[in-house]
Structure 1
Amino acid sequence: MRSQLATHAIQPPAYTRATTLTLASGAGFAVASIYYAQPILPLMQQELGLGIEQVGLVPTLTQFGYALGLFFLLPLSDRYDRRQLIGIKSIMLALMLLLCSLSGGIGSLLLTSLLIGITATLAQDIVPSAAILAPPQRQGKAVGTVMTGLLLGILLSRTFSGVIADHLGWRATYQIAAVIIVLSGLMLWRQLPRFETHAKLSYPALLRSVGQLFVRYPALRHAALAQGLLSIGFSAFWSTLALMLSRHFHMGSDIAGAFGLAGAAGAIAAPLAGGLSDRIGSAKVTQFGAALVSLAFAAMFALPWLGTTAQLVLIALSTVVFDFGLQMALVSHQSLVYRLDPNARGRINAVFFTTVFVGMSLGSLLGSQALAMAGWQGVVALATLSAALAFALRCKASGQ
């Protein structure tokens, strides 16, 4: 292909702790937007008079929107100034969060959920900035640190939305989140340098090259597919947890959100995985992470034979372990794929995370169906199977 793309930053300032914190918090606040709904689905269901299958479409469409945004918008960061894209998306995401809070029925709720997912891809414009700005010998650690912020955003978003919704209503969750995104966007605009790009590819050619990258790099295919499989189980668990706790334990949205604190303990895996990937290679770390996820989900098959307290303890412990494993796999996969082609990080990120969030969307859809048809054990079976397939894929890829 004659058309080439060369991307570099205009003499960026030193990669400081302040830059790291700004990127980490920005990524966390942005990605949190697609998870706020999960613990407050029972409140939405009650207020709007929805069934389980209907309310289950809220996280499904949000994550599907994220996948669409990743594929169609993320490649633009290889063509346009990443700083400007971050600013525009911050404004649009805040607006979509506000509009969602004003939803009066299932139609507007689903539409704004889809648009929140599309604009929340802001998070994936932020993460590669760490790899671009950090010195080469610190890229793994830098990505891991920023991913800690992103992953804490994913996990603590449920605690935040559960507590706020329980006291102020589910609409207040989105309104407060909109204000946070505006403030975060301003911080990013002030901290980040301007990224200069020299692109010779048209937008259609840019999109075509996304598919070409998927074909060209087997390591990218394996990483994306394995992380997508892990995401099916992750999403199935989190998108049905609040409904299960409400039905079987009569617990509110605040308690469902509190389980995010258990999962947040696993966020220490992100910097650990980044450092290990720099030292021993990403392949071994991803295998170990996938194995942990499989074992953690499988442990929940024991729930029917335990008392109520023991059941809740096992769910919390499994949450810590599978989040730890999933985050190790995610950061290690990113460290692996970002090294494949420095001039195509935006498009490589699009391939990787589009696949991941197709898995997330499928997990939400299949998880709600499994809960309706087979109860919580059906969700556990789905999550365990998808994680086991991811582990098998990583083992096969490492053996080639």
Structure 2
Amino acid sequence: MKLTHGLRLLLAMVCSVAVATIYVAQPVLAQIGQDLGVPESDLGWIVATGQIGYLAGLAVLVPLGDMLDRRKLIAGQLILAAIGMLVAAVSPALWLLLIGLAATGLFAVIVQTTVAFAADLSTPAERGRTLGIVTSGVIIGILGARVLAGVLADLWGWRSIYITLMLLLVVLSIAVLKQLPADHRSNRRTYGDVLTSFGHLFREPLFISRGMIAFFLFASFGTLWSALALPLAAEPWQLSTAQIGLFGIAGLAGALGAARAGRWADTGRANSVTGAALALLTLSWIASGQATWSLWLVVVGVIVLDFAVQAVHVSNQSLLTAAYSEQTSSTIGGYMIFYSLGSALGATATTTIYSTSGWTGCAVLGASFALCGLLTWVLGRRTVTKTRYDAAGHGSGHAGATSKAG
């Protein structure tokens, strides 16, 4: 079955809504705490619980995509995530809310199964383009969740956010079953086999190199988006929550612009795009670091940063799904473990730095993460060069795929 533009958009919507379930709580934590009587010191658990569930799902659920029909797997996990959203929406106390969010986070890893399925449904010549469109849904979900949550919470309260997401998840599960092709497997693998192959990935130089780039990439991303509200809400700007949320629109513009990176990857420039985008990421902090005196420079910095993050993210996944085409779900899941750890580091480190060194310290931190990613790319170029040599001289399966992608 040919992967049409409409199917790509459906897969992107699945990614967008699934990832939004993890991030929508961030702008309404104060409202949730007031409603449920949660002390300010405990509000962090509302975000952390979903992230913990997500991290667990990456390790134990995403590998299932290498052994089961992914159409049914995606539809089933969308329904389970919807149940988690329903539990969160009706929770009368913090403990039940956390159970609902943990369950949703666990099944939100359907994002990675969806990305892997999209890559496998594409021809090699269009894989990068497909990944560019589908992973744009992830960035839209992360950034758009803040805007959606702010609007719905102002209109009908924080519970309406989770009800809306529940309904969207159910509708998408029906659409997936009706629109996507069945995912028939010629080889039957046990869960043990899949987990063993998953573990072996962490010995692969190319996988580790791209994973570490993702770690530093999303640490820099997390540094910006976890603390940007602090200088914007302070003097001299004193922006409201709704006004701060509008900066997410600038981020969306940058991320969507980088969908073109998928086409560049299809022409064999994935590795070059990675290096150039990491350099842009580092430079973006020069503009973002001026938040105390220029909002326009912050907008420029946000657009460039999100463009760079999406370009690297698409290029990385294009290289990896081509290199490990026999286990795309495990590969994407393992790669996203680096993403999750990097995001967590950026989010926790930046608030600590802000309390001692202000926004300037945060900008230095974000730029340092970006430079570490660029250095990792420089060192990892030897790995890509070696893979190309192996492909030409020895016909290695993984190497051959990598050669085509990068």
The TM-score with structure 1 as length reference comes to 0.88
Aligned with residue 64 of structure 1, among 52, 55, 61: 52
Whether 2:220 is the aligned partner of 1:237: answer no
Whether 2:349 is the aligned partner of 1:366: answer yes
Shift of 1:102: 2.8
- 1:240-289, CA deviations, whole angstroms, 9 ceiling, x for partnerless residues? 34455445544443223222111000123443111111224211111111
Q: Identify the residue that residue 277 of structure 2 maps to in structure 1.
A: 289
Identity of aligned residues (%): 31
Change (3 A) 1:301 1:254: closer
Change (3 A) 1:372 1:53: farther
User: How many residues are aligned here?
Assistant: 382
In structure 2, list runs of 5 or more residues that go unmatched: 384-406
Q: Which amino acid aligns with 2:161?
A: T
Shift of 1:45: 4.3
- 1:21-46, CA deviations, whole angstroms, 9 ceiling, x for partnerless residues? 21122221212222212222333344
In structure 1, list runs of 5 or more residues that go unmatched: 1-12
Identify the range of structure 1 (119-128 vs 231-240) with the bigger mean alpha-carbon deviation. Answer: 231-240
Q: Identify the residue that residue 148 of structure 1 maps to in structure 2.
A: 136
Whether 2:110 is the aligned partner of 1:122: answer yes
Aligned with residue 393 of structure 1, among 369, 376, 395: 376
Shift of 1:352: 0.5
Contact 2:216 2:373 in 1 (8 A): yes
Shift of 1:237: 2.5
* Mapped partners of 1:181, 1:322: distance in 2: 29
* Mapped partners of 2:160, 2:228: distance in 1: 21
Whether 2:69 is the aligned partner of 1:81: answer yes
Whether 2:262 is the aligned partner of 1:262: answer no
Aligned with residue 345 of structure 1, among 307, 328, 336: 328
Identify the range of structure 1 (168-177 vs 336-345) with the bigger mean alpha-carbon deviation. Answer: 168-177
C-alpha RMSD of matched pairs (Å): 2.2
Shift of 1:374: 4.2
Whether 2:146 is the aligned partner of 1:158: answer yes
Contact 1:263 1:319 in 2 (8 A): yes
* Mapped partners of 1:163, 1:188: distance in 2: 28
Contact 1:163 1:257 in 2 (8 A): no
Higher RCO, 1 or 2 (CA under 8 Å, sep at least 6)? 1
Q: Identify the residue that residue 195 of structure 1 maps to in structure 2.
A: 183
Identify the range of structure 1 (257-266 vs 267-276) with the bigger mean alpha-carbon deviation. Answer: 267-276
* Mapped partners of 2:13, 2:186: distance in 1: 29
Identify the range of structure 1 (184-193 vs 267-276) with the bigger mean alpha-carbon deviation. Answer: 267-276
Change (3 A) 1:44 1:377: farther
Residue correspondence of structure 1 range 131-146 to structure 2 within 5 A: 131-146=119-134
Contact 1:231 1:363 in 2 (8 A): yes
* Mapped partners of 2:45, 2:365: distance in 1: 18
Q: Identify the residue that residue 402 of structure 2 maps to in structure 1.
A: none
Residue correspondence of structure 1 range 284-323 to structure 2 within 5 A: 284-304=272-292, 306=293, 310=294, 312-323=295-306
Secondary structure of the equivalent of 1:196? coil
Whether 2:368 is the aligned partner of 1:382: answer no
Secondary structure of the equivalent of 1:58? helix
Secondary structure of the equivalent of 1:379? helix
* Mapped partners of 2:140, 2:134: distance in 1: 10
Shift of 1:221: 0.8
Q: Identify the residue that residue 276 of structure 1 maps to in structure 2.
A: 264
* Mapped partners of 1:238, 1:69: distance in 2: 24
Q: Identify the residue that residue 16 of structure 2 maps to in structure 1.
A: 28
